[in-house]
Amino acid sequence: MALILDGRSLSEKIRQEIKKEVEVFLQKGLRRPALAVVLVGDDPASQIYVNNKRKACEKVGIKSLYYKLPQNTRHEELLELIAQLNADEEVDGILVQLPLPEQINQREIITSILPSKDVDGFHPENMGMLLSGSEEGFIPCTPLGIDILLRHYNIDPKGANVTIVGAGFIVGRPLSALMLNRNATVSVCHIYTRDISVFTREADILISATGVPGLIDKEKVKEGAIVIDVGISKVNGKIVGDVKFNEVKEKVKAITPVPGGVGPMTVTALLLNTVKAYKKRVYSISTIKP
């Protein structure tokens, strides 16, 4: 029976620490950190994600500003909102929930966010920093959450074969850069990969981020591997991951559950990035030092 990598309880612990840190800011006479969350349209999954993020902010004392725009919002209107948020001294982080409706150019929107407020880490400047081996900028939340979870359980990717299934912009691509920074040997599989088993069965650490329920069965994993499940899908009203948890857990050394694994760590990473943005902003304009 595998070790269950408990993202929920680790998240709870980190969030308690963030809450205490925010209280210290207030004791020093500083304002609260603030995150602006922008949701365009009414995709039900996005609404749930955004609500979770906002609730998590409020619970640790981060102010959450919410901008809910209609599905038919024009590209220029969204650019205008971001320009306002960029200029607002009291906004530390800006998160535009993805995906955006098709009339909006997602790449341009992401690039219009000030890199210093880009707590999602999606701006080319932040992505580029990560790829160049620097972690001074913001690391995207899911890769960062996974990195923190691995470190907590003393799982060091150095020298390990890390296989990532899914080459998306939000998880797979930045995670491949982060795992390379951790000195792993990284393979990235995607929809054109002829046979993912060739790569997944070699993985010491297997990370699946596809949203295809049950894609990873026991035949696709190596005995004693560590399995990280980033998938979140709804099947018959139940939230499930990419991994057939019940059969895979019998074969591996450690595994994340869904829910309660990577999901809460992603939100916790967002809170950490927001506090990081706040500290850079506040301490650069105030005489109060950390």
- Catalytic residue numbers read 53, 97, 120
Coil vs helix vs strand at 137: coil
The rounded distance, in Å, linking the Cα atoms of 286 and 89 is 12
Q: Are the C-beta atoms of 267 and 53 separated by less than 8 Å?
A: yes
Q: State the nearest-atom distance from the C-beta of 183 to ligand GUN, in Å.
A: 25
* 141 touching ligand GUN, by CB under 6 A: yes
List the one residue from 79, 98, 155, 239 that touches ligand GUN (CB under 6 A): 98
The rounded distance, in Å, linking the Cα atoms of 229 and 216 is 9
Instruction: Please provide residue 132's backbone torsions phi and psi, each rounded to the nearest 5 degrees.
Output: -85, 0
Residue 3: beta bridge partners? 254
Q: Are the C-beta atoms of 262 and 9 separated by less than 8 Å?
A: no
* Residues between 233 and 262 with contacts to ligand GUN, criterion CB under 6 A: none
x/- letters, 106..125, toward ligand GUN (CB under 6 A): --------------x-----
Q: State the nearest-atom distance from the C-beta of 95 to ligand GUN, in Å.
A: 5
Q: State the nearest-atom distance from the C-beta of 123 to ligand GUN, in Å.
A: 12
In this structure, the dihedral spanned by the alpha carbons of residues 209, 153, 259 and 160, taken in order and rounded to 10 degrees, is 20
List the one residue from 36, 69, 95, 188 that touches ligand GUN (CB under 6 A): 95
* Residues between 152 and 181 with contacts to ligand GUN, criterion CB under 6 A: 170
What is the binding site for ligand GUN (CB under 6 A)? 95-98, 120, 141-142, 170
